[in-house]
Structure 1
């Protein structure tokens, strides 16, 4: 069985589980890393020549938590949306969503800015990229951090800044401005390179279900997305929008893709296998910047956040197991997205009047940036703000309407007790 090996540590973090403790995923898909920090040689004869083991972080680099509220540089959910990571100007923090609590923090006193923190479910391995005005690490490097040892155990170096990182138990995906690199997690061997259109946001999504890898990234044309099916070795290009792609999301199994363009009015859902358009929903009539899209675990719902200060939840009329096949609806089924009252003359009036609208909404501060995911409790949504806000809300799947706020926290407050 593949395991993630790490040297024993006198004070391992009890809040992180070893990958071998995970029971909700196939243990055979766990990464296996045998890195030797004292060695100047590559870990394996065929490993990536840009990979180098690094020396342990000196004890004096770990400082007590700062007294002042930190500046938030990055927030992201882990793969199952049960946790989230925050990169700050002097370290990083990891939080549990339900119940909400800080799991742990790492504060650095030399530089310390972390611009990207990518978790691997709840295990002890994270990917870090330096950021902010005083970065802890060069922004062109991905540092592999082992929290059992409280230090970096390796790095991947590039010629330009790293825009984002995606982790699976078997792969590391590094996104640059116009190129994406896919590495094997076992030996960090480079498996694939993809060229993209200018991608300053580092847009990239990977499937997380056990089995085959599906990767989505921008194509080489405006409005185009590229879908890589690694199991079947097939590449699919989808012209999703006329305008520039600004956001997309994959369902857990990689079968469904939701996309939004710079117009921010419509969200489209595609079958990743054949590229067919399955559904189109309307966020609103005015232009908006879409910040995040998220499928529920069963692909029954889609959540959307934007700069308009509203999180929308849409009902998907798609069978998650067989994209393209509508769910048969009965009296007990949840309400579908409402249509305009003028939809009876569909085809006569502009498309706007026959669009599918959201089932549920939650109002936030307009102009602020939020990301969204579905909670582990039924019909709940978790919302994270770049201002440090944490909301957990519940929506009514039958009647829809305004969501109910269940809890709120400011996770950046230094006096917060967890």
Structure 2
């Protein structure tokens, strides 16, 4: 077993210009690092790392042998800004077997370790002390330094590889799917407790965790409601409504101060919600389709009469991009901004007014797959 010495040297741009780009590059994966300072793109020909603020490409490692040169990467996980990355092969011509996690050291320019499994790897999560590998019905947790297996967790079918872990040093909190539809499992390694939360009636399709692991956000296949839970006791703290019609929720993200939540869906919209997590637990209601948002705010005395959508809160700010496209969202380092990454290679930095709300303003946009082309 390869021993990995954790090295926190920062990744840095190469001194020479990037190599020529393959004729045709398709995105297979997009993800932010733990503090949204960078994002990683896995493609049919390798991977690239970008800085988010200011936006720039930091480096790329990819094949340039034409359209069919191969080298597909379906998952790239960064560890903040250090030189160690976790890679999983994917696409029509994978760079590595799809059942392996390769530990890449970019300073050495090679893989320094690997983890092999019987089935396809769906996703990977990294902490400074742990590597978490997600398969379709099982999760494996390894010690980062020596790749020693520490724990196995069984889950319900998990084709999207849903799992999140706290990033701050100290006590680790992990959230993943349970063994039943709509159920979330919370592992608190400080108290050595396992809790199960029945988050939704239908299957969970997206989850997010605050940096310290205290708050959990979940969305179901209905895509109308997002729920915020306490990982400490499993109580429902708040419920926000993306919309009245069904949608596929693609991405959830807490702000660094956990006072806002961003949500993207296949409707081409990104919503920002103000969170009020200090208001105490609330009663769960069914995440079902409902009518339009309320137009008045002084009807609490009619709570028992009004439709259920009056109990959930609507976004303070939103933006509509291209419908049907998958977007990954995170909060920017500039005040009141979100960064939105599209699977077409689009990068948007948008600003919102947390008080007045309404439509967000696009303050910066790029096509990071084709830098010479502008976004429409």
Q: TM-score, normalization: structure 1?
A: 0.80
Question: What is the distance in 2 between the residues matched to 1:75 and 1:283?
Answer: 22
C-alpha spacing 1:339/1:281, structure 2 compared with 1 (3 Å): farther
Q: How does 1:18-417 map onto structure 2 within 5 Å?
A: 64-108=19-63, 109=65, 111-319=70-278, 324=280, 340-341=295-296, 344=299, 345-413=302-370, 415=372
Question: What is the distance in 2 between the residues matched to 1:307 and 1:186?
Answer: 39
C-alpha spacing 1:177/1:343, structure 2 compared with 1 (3 Å): farther
The question of whether the paired residues in 2 share the 8 Å contact of 1:166 and 1:174 is answered with yes
Question: What is the distance in 1 between the residues matched to 2:12 and 2:168?
Answer: 26
The question of whether the paired residues in 1 share the 8 Å contact of 2:40 and 2:77 is answered with yes
Q: How far did residue 4 of structure 1 move?
A: 2.3
The question of whether the paired residues in 1 share the 8 Å contact of 2:42 and 2:48 is answered with yes
The question of whether the paired residues in 1 share the 8 Å contact of 2:11 and 2:81 is answered with no
Q: Deviations over 1:156-181 (max 9, x none)?
A: 00000000000000000000000000
The question of whether the paired residues in 1 share the 8 Å contact of 2:11 and 2:82 is answered with no
Structure having the larger proportion of residues in strand: 2
Q: Which runs of 5+ in 1 are unaligned?
A: 17-62, 327-337
Question: What is the distance in 2 between the residues matched to 1:259 and 1:165?
Answer: 19
Q: Which residue of 1 aligns with 2:287?
A: none
Q: How far did residue 3 of structure 1 move?
A: 6.0
Q: Deviations over 1:39-68 (max 9, x none)?
A: xxxxxxxxxxxxxxxxxxxxxxxx943242
C-alpha spacing 1:408/1:231, structure 2 compared with 1 (3 Å): same
The question of whether the paired residues in 1 share the 8 Å contact of 2:49 and 2:58 is answered with yes
Q: Deviations over 1:136-156 (max 9, x none)?
A: 000000000000011111110
Question: What is the distance in 1 between the residues matched to 2:258 and 2:294?
Answer: 21
The question of whether the paired residues in 2 share the 8 Å contact of 1:342 and 1:354 is answered with no
CA RMSD, Structure 1 to Structure 2 (Å): 2.3
Question: What is the distance in 2 between the residues matched to 1:250 and 1:14?
Answer: 28
| SS, match of residue 305 in structure 1 | strand
Q: Which residue of 2 aligns with 1:4?
A: 6
| SS, match of residue 313 in structure 2 | coil
Question: What is the distance in 2 between the residues matched to 1:171 and 1:67?
Answer: 34
How many pairs are equivalent? 352
The question of whether the paired residues in 2 share the 8 Å contact of 1:340 and 1:356 is answered with no
The question of whether the paired residues in 2 share the 8 Å contact of 1:182 and 1:190 is answered with yes
Q: Deviations over 1:97-146 (max 9, x none)?
A: 01000000001355300011000100000000000000000000000000
Q: TM-score, normalization: structure 2?
A: 0.89
The question of whether the paired residues in 2 share the 8 Å contact of 1:142 and 1:162 is answered with yes
C-alpha spacing 1:409/1:325, structure 2 compared with 1 (3 Å): same
| SS, match of residue 406 in structure 1 | strand
Q: Deviations over 1:239-276 (max 9, x none)?
A: 00000000010011100000000000001000001000
Question: What is the distance in 2 between the residues matched to 1:270 and 1:384?
Answer: 26
Q: How far did residue 399 of structure 1 move?
A: 0.6
Q: Which residue of 2 aligns with 1:15?
A: 13
Question: What is the distance in 2 between the residues matched to 1:346 and 1:153?
Answer: 59
Q: Deviations over 1:211-264 (max 9, x none)?
A: 111000000000000000011110010000000000010011100000000000
| SS, match of residue 248 in structure 1 | strand
Question: What is the distance in 1 between the residues matched to 2:156 and 2:310?
Answer: 33
Q: How far did residue 342 of structure 1 move?
A: 6.4
Question: What is the distance in 1 between the residues matched to 2:146 and 2:94?
Answer: 27
| SS, match of residue 277 in structure 2 | coil
